[in-house]
């Protein structure tokens, strides 16, 4: 009798685990694809005969398209089903890279960036819709953290994977292989039978909160906070390799290892940050402390030519502290959101990342074109210091909130 009663519960648990695994793999792909073009900047610059500001413009197109389409894609996912939209996004993103590998030109690069931006806009609305509809509510936080961790891992392994692909199949082959990952994962999701999520699945719990004023001063400040976070990380993520190569005499391989350490440690930091965020209510102070130390570390990297091993260790520590911030960052938004309006609050503040995605490629591309690679790290420090100030401001909330 016990076994009979336990069977449905075990089946549901297995289904939830399968869904979480599949959605996390999709999130891995989204972050992996984010880094494909930046990791090929040295190759693309040589092949296309353009400057870094032109390459940065491609990333601006990516950020602009992703920012403008994220809300409409969320609406579309609610009406035709998140599963279908997610599968389309994986396929479109993959095909964009494959087509660029088959026909390399600057026009194709811009078109590829636009399609990648469109594909990128599906992941958060669709992933969170499916997880929200099908995960055990008692384990929802852990499900979200694993989903976030998978994305960080995707970005962390991208430099090493792209370096290996360039060395084995060349730049064009690297684009095609990296692109093929998208459709293959879409087929995997179909094979494992991920469930759908629509407005019917989600219910109408947010209806009562729809009339609340969401655009509060705290939400506006947090939107700027998210933008500064994006700006502080974008220079290192997208231009760190070329800055280390041109300004510090670091080899392509060593620069990629340092960036991989930075991104990999960030993934580990997310898990540690979740543990820390559950044990403190001073999330702004946690974020400020981590970014304060980060500013010191990146200042050292910007001003001192470090041995490869020390550089890699410094980048890893900076990445770890950056990852620790992520759960506290999300808790700041949760605390600032009016009751029942967390979804819209996260949607608004996340546009700060879209703004940084539009601005940062032009800024850091201009820095590189001015032959100032040290300022890729220097500008990151400036944004980190501003982030520390805003983190402390957002931590000052009225008693009884959050």
26-51 confidence digits (pLDDT tens):
999 999 999 899 999 889 999 999 88
- Both 152 and 58 in one domain: the answer is yes
Cα–Cα distances in Å, from 89 out to 30, 84, 92, 95, 183?
A: 9, 9, 5, 10, 9
The answer to which of 85-94, 226-235, 354-363 has the lowest mean pLDDT is 354-363
Q: Is the pLDDT of residue 300 over 50?
A: yes
Looking up residue 152, the CATH number of its domain turns out to be 1.20.1250.20
| Three-class HEC string of 326-376 | HHHHHHHHHHHCCCCCHHHHHHHHHHHHHHHHHHHHHHHHHHHHCCCCHHH
- Both 231 and 339 in one domain: the answer is yes
Burial 169-181 (b: 16+ CB within 10 A, else e): eebbebbbbbbeb
- Both 194 and 66 in one domain: the answer is yes
Choose one of 173, 199, 225: the last residue of a domain.
199
Q: Give the span between the Cα atoms of 140 and 249, in whole angstroms.
A: 46
- Both 191 and 241 in one domain: the answer is no
Which domain, by its residues, includes 303? 212-396
- Both 171 and 227 in one domain: the answer is no
Domains in the chain: how many in total? 2
Q: Is the pLDDT of residue 385 over 60?
A: yes
56 found inside a domain: yes
- Both 171 and 252 in one domain: the answer is no
- Both 221 and 328 in one domain: the answer is yes
- Both 218 and 360 in one domain: the answer is yes
Average pLDDT value for residue range 43-65: 89
Instruction: Provide the token pair at 132.
Output: 């929200």
2 found inside a domain: no
Between 10 and 305, residue with greater pLDDT: 305
91 found inside a domain: yes
- Both 178 and 217 in one domain: the answer is no
Average pLDDT value for residue range 277-288: 78
120 found inside a domain: yes
- Both 184 and 105 in one domain: the answer is yes
Choose one of 199, 234, 258: the last residue of a domain.
199
Q: Is the pLDDT of residue 61 over 80?
A: yes
Instruction: Provide the token pair at 248.
Output: 């510090």
367 found inside a domain: yes
Looking up tokens 């685990």 gives 17
Q: Is the pLDDT of residue 217 over 80?
A: yes
Residue 270's pLDDT band, with cuts at 50, 70 and 90, is confident
- Both 171 and 110 in one domain: the answer is yes
207 found inside a domain: no
101 found inside a domain: yes
- Both 77 and 143 in one domain: the answer is yes
Choose one of 166, 199, 232: the last residue of a domain.
199
16 found inside a domain: yes
Average pLDDT value for residue range 240-250: 89
Cα dihedral 155/159/161/165 (nearest 10)? 140
Supply the pTM of this predicted model. 0.70
């Amino acid at each position: 009798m016990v076994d009979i009663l336990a069977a449905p519960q075990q089946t549901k648990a297995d289904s939830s685990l399968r869904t979480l695994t599949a959605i996390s793999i999709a999130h891995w792909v989204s972050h992996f694809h984010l880094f494909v073009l930046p990791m090929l900047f040295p190759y693309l610059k040589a092949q296309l005969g353009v400057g870094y500001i032109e390459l940065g413009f491609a990333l601006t197109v990516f950020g602009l398209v992703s920012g403008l389409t994220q809300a409409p894609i969320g609406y579309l996912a609610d009406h035709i089903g998140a599963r279908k939209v997610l599968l389309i996004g994986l396929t479109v993103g993959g095909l964009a890279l494959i087509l660029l590998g088959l026909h390399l030109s600057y026009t194709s690069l811009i078109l590829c960036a636009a399609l990648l931006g469109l594909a990128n806009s599906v992941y958060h609305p669709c992933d969170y819709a499916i997880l929200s509809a099908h995960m055990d509510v008692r384990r929802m936080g852990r499900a979200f953290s694993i989903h976030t961790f998978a994305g960080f891992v995707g970005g962390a392994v991208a430099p090493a994977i792209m370096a290996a692909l360039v060395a084995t199949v060349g730049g064009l082959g690297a684009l095609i292989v990296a692109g093929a990952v998208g459709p293959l994962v879409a087929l995997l999701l179909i094979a494992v039978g991920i469930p759908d999520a629509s407005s019917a699945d989600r219910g109408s719990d947010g209806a009562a909160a729809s009339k609340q004023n969401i655009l509060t001063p705290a939400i506006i400040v947090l939107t700027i906070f998210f933008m500064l976070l994006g700006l502080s990380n974008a220079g290192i993520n997208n231009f760190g390799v070329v800055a280390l190569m041109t300004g510090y005499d670091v080899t392509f391989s060593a620069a990629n290892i340092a960036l991989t350490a930075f991104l990999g440690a960030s993934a580990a930091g997310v898990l540690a940050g979740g543990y820390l965020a559950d044990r403190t209510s001073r999330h702004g102070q946690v974020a400020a402390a981590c970014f304060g130390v980060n500013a010191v570390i990146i200042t050292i990297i910007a001003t001192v030519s470090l041995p490869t091993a020390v550089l890699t260790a410094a980048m890893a520590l900076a990445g770890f502290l950056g990852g620790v911030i992520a759960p506290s960052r999300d808790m700041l938004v949760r605390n600032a959101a009016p009751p029942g309006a967390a979804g819209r609050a996260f949607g608004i503040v996340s546009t700060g990342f879209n703004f940084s995605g539009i601005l940062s490629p032009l800024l850091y591309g201009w820095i590189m074109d001015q032959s100032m690679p040290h300022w890729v790290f220097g500008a990151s420090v400036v944004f980190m210091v501003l982030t520390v100030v805003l983190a402390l401001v957002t931590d000052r909330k009225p008693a009884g909130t959050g």
